[in-house]
Chain A
Amino acid sequence: MTPRTLAIAQTELLILRRNRWLFMATLIMVLFALALTFAGSAPTGSLGVDMLTVSVASMTTLSVYLAPLLALMMSFDAISGDVDRGSLSLLLSYPPNRGEILLGKFLSHLAALSFAMVIGFGTAGALAAWSGGAGVDSLLALARLIATSILLGAVFIALGYTVSSLAGSSTAAAGMSAALWLVFVVLFDLGLLGAVVMDQGGTFTQSIFPWLMVANPADAFRVWNIAASDAVAITSGMTGAASALPGWAAPVSLLIWPIIGLTLAYISFGRVEP
């Protein structure tokens, strides 16, 4: 990392702290994680797993929606905001190249998101463990949840930059980000579900569907967390699709997506003419 990337990252982090984004994101994560942990603590006895496992299963469902949302909220105006203010042309007249600028923004946004995830899931996890017990397995599941949530966030931060570069204005970027979120998190799954129902257990359901599902980073995140822990799988009731895939499929998808996202962001940012 160059000193110039560091300078941009530190300034962006300062902005996130100054406009209370960091505080609000962390607060949202803590509140939602706590609410789900304690609202979802009922089935502990009947399933024979500790409370942290139940908590992780609930928080996995939460994170599928919340991690992309928070990431996009942070990144959608990262480029278009500078274009709107007229400061992007000035920034680009300085020595850092576009890659350094993008990397600086990405590092700061990822750090802020990671902070919110660690504090939010960590607090809820600690309370669940304290009140209902935890084991090695469930602690590992919590660590996996936090790490994969950060990865999922990284994907959508990068996709947010792409949208921000292509949109031309922050207003358009906000709209496109909402559409992006809806497609990846809601509509994609609905579409697959529809296809499975139409197919009635044919070849599509057997061999194509699991791969299509895991190609979506949000679903890959869900599959990874569920498939990796039997206990989490039991509590979430989502075992069928995950078991049809080799164990590496979801992790590979979720690890490749940030690279795809950043490449797209770099290409589209390179085409921005302020």
Chain B
Amino acid sequence: MDNSLLIKSVSKFRGKVQVLNDVDLTVAPGERLALLGHNGAGKSTLIKTILGLTAIDQGSIRICGAAPGTSVARQTTAFLPESVSFHPALTGREQLTLFARLSGFPADVPGLLERVGLSDALDRRIGTYSKGMRQRLGLAQVLLGKPKLALLDEPTSGLDPISRQDLYTIIDELAAQGTAVLIASHALTEVEARTDRIAILRKGIKVADNTLSALSAEADLPTHLRITAHSDQIDQLAQQVGGKRVNGASFEITCSADQKMAELRHIAALGDAIVDISMTPPRLEDLYRYYSREDRQ
């Protein structure tokens, strides 16, 4: 199937600063892509170019074949801005009804608000909402009219852990109905488990774009093994396997992914002296640090 979002060698300057540098990105229908990067890496700018709010200097962007900002593109795209607020004098129902009328799709407004957990606050003014409730209202408007592409800018900011879970459940449902979902985020641990692919931007340059496992393999980051042993033998054991003592009862070995099994066998052969082993594979945070490092080319 064609990609819902197709970005080809897009560049954008703000004055003399290049905020996007030859960025390629695609999102297929039903795919969940996490877009990661520091503050000012160009995530929000990239989303604005997809929405047609900011002109690009080079390259092309197509949303289901349509150019950004065209009425076809706007009809197929849903957007959740970062920490959005609405007019405090309106109620949640009135605000969502307005969005439904603007989108041109008939919508079950109370049903949508119930789905994001706002059914109690339906007729309360938005001025009385908490930050998390406003974020949920923003999410409710994303669900209007079954979008083909959903752009979510920091969707979990201001949400409590339970709400975050709910949010990712809704994102999964969106993806299941064929919506391409692009999530710009800082919350690495959540993104790790709930997205299909990860792209990392650094200073406007895309430095990584692959599945988590492929990125791990490519980065070849060390796995940490922590071995707990009887304290009287610990120095000797550490020396024997080439580990580094971390406290009175344990020492640590770092090894690459392909040496992991060999190390484990080696340690297992030490017999009763070993009490426990815990293993930490590289996490997204490590990968992120690796790919967004300044000196890496």
A residues with a Cβ closer than 8 A to B are 3-4, 7-8, 11, 14-15, 18-19, 81, 85-87, 89-97, 273-274
Within 8 A of A (CB), among B66-96: 71, 74-75, 77-87, 89-90, 94
Check A18–B84 contact: CB distance below 8 A. no
Identify which of A3, A18, A86, A92 contacts B51 (C-beta below 8 A): A92
| Interchain CA distance A95-B141 in the complex, whole Å | 13
Check A90–B84 contact: CB distance below 8 A. yes
Q: Is the interface of B mostly helix, strand, loop or mixed?
A: mixed
Residues from chain B with Cβ under 8 Å of A8 in the complex: 98, 102
- Selected A-B contacts with CB under 8 Å, 14 pairs: A14-B89, A14-B90, A81-B87, A85-B84, A87-B86, A87-B87, A89-B48, A90-B79, A91-B102, A92-B51, A93-B53, A94-B74, A273-B53, A273-B54
B47 CB → nearest A CB, Å: 9
B98 CB → nearest A CB, Å: 5
Residues from chain A with Cβ under 8 Å of B83 in the complex: 86
B residues with a Cβ closer than 8 A to A are 48, 51, 53-54, 71, 74-75, 77-87, 89-90, 94, 98-99, 101-104, 125, 138, 141
Check B101–A3 contact: CB distance below 8 A. yes
Identify which of A7, A18, A81, A89 contacts B98 (C-beta below 8 A): A7
Closest 5 pairs between A and B when the two form their complex, measured CB to CB: A7-B101, A93-B79, A85-B85, A18-B89, A94-B102
Residues from chain A with Cβ under 8 Å of B51 in the complex: 89, 92-93
Given pairs A93-B51, A95-B102, 19 additional interface contacts (CB within 8 A): A3-B101, A4-B101, A4-B102, A7-B98, A7-B102, A11-B90, A15-B87, A15-B89, A18-B89, A19-B89, A86-B84, A87-B85, A89-B51, A89-B79, A93-B78, A94-B74, A94-B102, A96-B102, A273-B53
Residue among A7, A14, A90, A97 with the highest chain B CB neighbour number at 10 A: A90
A96 to B, closest residue via Cβ: B102
Check A93–B74 contact: CB distance below 8 A. yes
Check B90–A15 contact: CB distance below 8 A. yes
B203 CB → nearest A CB, Å: 21
Residues from chain A with Cβ under 8 Å of B48 in the complex: 89, 273
Residues from chain B with Cβ under 8 Å of A96 in the complex: 102
B248 CB → nearest A CB, Å: 53
Residues from chain B with Cβ under 8 Å of A95 in the complex: 71, 74-75, 102-104
B48 CB → nearest A CB, Å: 7
| Interchain CA distance A94-B77 in the complex, whole Å | 8
Identify which of A18, A89, A94, A97 contacts B103 (C-beta below 8 A): A94
Contact A93 to B94, CB < 8 A, known contacts A87-B84, A87-B85:
no
Identify which of A18, A85, A274 contacts B53 (C-beta below 8 A): A274
Check A11–B98 contact: CB distance below 8 A. yes
Check A89–B81 contact: CB distance below 8 A. yes
Residues from chain B with Cβ under 8 Å of A87 in the complex: 81, 84-87
Residue among B83, B85, B102 with the highest chain A CB neighbour number at 10 A: B102
A11 to B, closest residue via Cβ: B98
A12 CB → nearest B CB, Å: 9
A12 to B, closest residue via Cβ: B87
A81 CB → nearest B CB, Å: 8
Check A93–B90 contact: CB distance below 8 A. no
Residues from chain B with Cβ under 8 Å of A89 in the complex: 48, 51, 53, 79, 81
Residues from chain A with Cβ under 8 Å of B80 in the complex: 90
A40 CB → nearest B CB, Å: 37
A50 CB → nearest B CB, Å: 43
| Interchain CA distance A87-B51 in the complex, whole Å | 14
A94 to B, closest residue via Cβ: B102
Residue among A19, A93, A273 with the highest chain B CB neighbour number at 10 A: A93
B51 CB → nearest A CB, Å: 5
| Interchain CA distance A274-B48 in the complex, whole Å | 9
